[in-house]
Amino acid sequence: MKSAPNLALVGPMGAGKSSVAAILAGRTGLERVDVDAEVERVAGTSVTAIFGHSGEAAFRELEAAALQRLLQGSGLLVATGGGAVLDPTSRALLAERAFVVHLHATPAEQMARLAGDTSRPLLQGHDAAARLEQLARERDPLYAAVADLRVDTAGSTPGQVASRIRAALEGRWRGVAA
């Protein structure tokens, strides 16, 4: 059984991290926090604007700093951004300060869920399907390396995924509210 002060959700865009976190927080008594929302709060602008004005590298620095601040607390359910696992320090911090759940979604599932969503900077100006495949090749091994639990989200509602996670936490995680 892993003892960690926080629960964190990792996975690709469109896997349902924010939606599942909203439901799961109510079922666990944890305080839900979203890393992208924290970045926007600190920066005073949107993730899309940060990418547009400062680039991905600047966003990743803000993301890593936000994740570090949040994980110093306890009793949090942290919805990370899809690229939060790119930073080795962030991966180490996740492993140390959270029970990490990888929400898995295939690129095809992501495409279906993200249809019409124009707020994803990494998909702008690209063949979205090809870009999602590329990101999966790069990031799936990182999600797997940091995860304490992997949950496949295929064909499931956020509520169903939250229920599976809540049930799977029994006997695996000793946290504030588990």
Question: Which residues are known binding-site members for ATP?
Answer: 14-19, 120
Binding-site positions for substrate? 36, 60, 82, 139
Q: What is the DSSP string of 87-142?
A: SHHHHHHHHHHEEEEEEE--HHHHHHHHTT----GGGTTS-HHHHHHHHHHHHHHH
Binding-site positions? 14-19, 36, 60, 82, 120, 139
Nearest to 133 by CA among 102, 111, 100: 111
Gap between the Cα atoms of 173 and 132, Å rounded: 31
Binding-site positions for Mg(2+)? 18
Gap between the Cα atoms of 107 and 13, Å rounded: 9
Gap between the Cα atoms of 95 and 109, Å rounded: 27
Gap between the Cα atoms of 13 and 18, Å rounded: 10
